[in-house]
Structure 1
Amino acid sequence: MTIKTATFWSRNTRLSTAAGCVAVLILLFCGAFAIPFVYESFSIKYKFGLHKALLRSGKLVGMAAALLLVAQLLLVARITWVNRMAGMDRLIAVHKYNGIAIALLALMHPLLVFGPEEITTLPLEFKFWPEIVGAGLLMGLFYMTTAALFKKALGLPFHLWMRAHKIGGCAVLLALFVHLLFSSETFEGGLPRVVGIAFSVLCLVVLISRHAPPFRNLSTWIVTDVTPAGNRATRIRLTPDNKETFTYLPGQFAFLSFPSSVVSSEAHPFTIASSPATPTALEFIIGKGGDWTRYMDRIQQGAPAVLDGPYGSFSHLMLDDDAPLVLIAGGVGITPMLSMMRHMDATDDGRKVILVWSNRSHEALFSADELIRMKMNHPSLSVHLHFTDEPGAEQLTTQQLHHFIEDLTSPQVFLCGPPPMMTAVKGMLREIGIHRHRVHTETFGF
Structure 2
Amino acid sequence: MSAKPVTLAAASGLGARLLLLAAVLTVIGAPLIVLAGEQAPPYSPEWWRAAGRSVGMAAALCLAVQFAIASRCRLLDRFAGLDRLFLGHRAFGIAAALLALSHPFIIFYPEEVGLGAPAISQWPLVAGATALTMLWGLAAVARWRAWLELPFHLWLPAHRLAALGLALVVGLHASFVGGPFKAADLALPLIAAVYLLLRFAPRPLHCRVKSVTPLGGEAHEIVLAPESGPVFDHAPGQFAFLTLQSPALPREEHPFTIASAPGEDALRFTIRCSGDYTARLGALSPGDTTFVRGPYGRFSHLVRGAPPADELLFLAGGVGITPMLSMLRHMAASAHAGPEAAKRHVTLIWCNRTPEDVVHAEEIGTLAATLPGFRLHHVFTRGPSTARLDGPGLASLITEVPRQARCFVCGPPPFMAFCRDALLREGFAPSRIHLEEFAL
TM-score (norm 2): 0.90
Determine the C-alpha separation between the residues in 1 that align with 2:23 and 2:374. 45
Determine the C-alpha separation between the residues in 1 that align with 2:36 and 2:423. 50
Determine the C-alpha separation between the residues in 1 that align with 2:427 and 2:312. 15
Deviation at 1:17, TM superposition (A): 9.2
Aligned counterparts, 1:33-52, within 5 A: 33-35=32-34, 49-52=43-46
Asked if structure 2 preserves the Cα contact closer than 8 Å seen for 1:217 and 1:309, the reply is: no
Where does residue 387 of structure 2 map in the other structure? 394
Q: Does 1:370 align with 2:363?
A: yes
Asked if structure 1 preserves the Cα contact closer than 8 Å seen for 2:54 and 2:181, the reply is: no
Instruction: Identify which range, 267-276 or 142-151, moves more after superposition.
Output: 142-151
Q: Does 1:296 align with 2:281?
A: yes
| Residues 395, 136 of structure 1: alpha-carbon distance in 2 compared, 3 angstrom cutoff | farther
Deviation at 1:57, TM superposition (A): 1.8
Asked if structure 1 preserves the Cα contact closer than 8 Å seen for 2:68 and 2:191, the reply is: no
Letter in 1 for 2:194: V
Where does residue 239 of structure 1 map in the other structure? 225
Q: Does 1:11 align with 2:27?
A: no
Deviation at 1:164, TM superposition (A): 2.7
| Residues 26, 444 of structure 1: alpha-carbon distance in 2 compared, 3 angstrom cutoff | closer
Identity of aligned residues (%): 35
Residues 240-297 of structure 1: per-residue CA shift (max 9 Å, x gap): 211256110000000011223221222110000010043x121001111111111111
Letter in 1 for 2:320: G
Asked if structure 1 preserves the Cα contact closer than 8 Å seen for 2:208 and 2:289, the reply is: yes
Give the total of aligned pairs. 431
Deviation at 1:4, TM superposition (A): 3.2
Letter in 2 for 1:221: C
> Given the alignment, which residue of 185, 189, 192 partners 1:203?
192
Q: Does 1:265 align with 2:251?
A: yes
Cα RMSD for the two superposed structures? 2.6
Asked if structure 2 preserves the Cα contact closer than 8 Å seen for 1:288 and 1:294, the reply is: yes
Determine the C-alpha separation between the residues in 2 that align with 1:443 and 1:125. 48
> Given the alignment, which residue of 402, 422, 430 partners 2:424?
430
| Residues 120, 5 of structure 1: alpha-carbon distance in 2 compared, 3 angstrom cutoff | farther
Deviation at 1:133, TM superposition (A): 1.8
Letter in 1 for 2:374: L
Letter in 1 for 2:347: I
> Given the alignment, which residue of 86, 89, 96 partners 1:92?
86
Q: 4+ residue runs of structure 1 moved beyond 4 angstroms?
A: 14-40, 191-199
Asked if structure 2 preserves the Cα contact closer than 8 Å seen for 1:328 and 1:355, the reply is: yes
Deviation at 1:392, TM superposition (A): 5.5
| Residues 111, 24 of structure 1: alpha-carbon distance in 2 compared, 3 angstrom cutoff | closer
Q: Does 1:359 align with 2:346?
A: no
Asked if structure 2 preserves the Cα contact closer than 8 Å seen for 1:275 and 1:339, the reply is: yes
Asked if structure 1 preserves the Cα contact closer than 8 Å seen for 2:249 and 2:277, the reply is: yes
Aligned counterparts, 1:49-198, within 5 A: 49-182=43-176, 184=177, 186=178, 193=182, 196-198=185-187
Asked if structure 1 preserves the Cα contact closer than 8 Å seen for 2:60 and 2:184, the reply is: no
Determine the C-alpha separation between the residues in 1 that align with 2:99 and 2:366. 56
TM-score (norm 1): 0.88
Instruction: Identify which range, 193-202 or 80-89, moves more after superposition.
Output: 193-202
Determine the C-alpha separation between the residues in 2 that align with 1:405 and 1:390. 24
Q: Does 1:317 align with 2:310?
A: no
Where does residue 335 of structure 1 map in the other structure? 322
Determine the C-alpha separation between the residues in 2 that align with 1:328 and 1:27. 37
Q: Secondary structure at the match of 2:233?
A: strand
Determine the C-alpha separation between the residues in 2 that align with 1:124 and 1:197. 23
Gaps of 5+ in 1: none
Deviation at 1:217, TM superposition (A): 4.6
| Residues 427, 114 of structure 1: alpha-carbon distance in 2 compared, 3 angstrom cutoff | same
Deviation at 1:3, TM superposition (A): 3.7
Letter in 1 for 2:5: T
Deviation at 1:387, TM superposition (A): 1.8
Asked if structure 2 preserves the Cα contact closer than 8 Å seen for 1:398 and 1:432, the reply is: no
Where does residue 291 of structure 2 map in the other structure? 306
Letter in 2 for 1:181: S
Deviation at 1:118, TM superposition (A): 2.2
Deviation at 1:311, TM superposition (A): 0.3
| Residues 386, 27 of structure 1: alpha-carbon distance in 2 compared, 3 angstrom cutoff | closer
| Residues 383, 164 of structure 1: alpha-carbon distance in 2 compared, 3 angstrom cutoff | same
Q: Does 1:283 align with 2:277?
A: no
Residues 50-106 of structure 1: per-residue CA shift (max 9 Å, x gap): 534432221111111111111110011011001111222211111111111111111
Deviation at 1:120, TM superposition (A): 4.8
Letter in 1 for 2:380: F
Asked if structure 1 preserves the Cα contact closer than 8 Å seen for 2:63 and 2:188, the reply is: no
Determine the C-alpha separation between the residues in 2 that align with 1:414 and 1:131. 51
Asked if structure 2 preserves the Cα contact closer than 8 Å seen for 1:11 and 1:320, the reply is: no
Letter in 2 for 1:361: T
| Residues 181, 2 of structure 1: alpha-carbon distance in 2 compared, 3 angstrom cutoff | farther
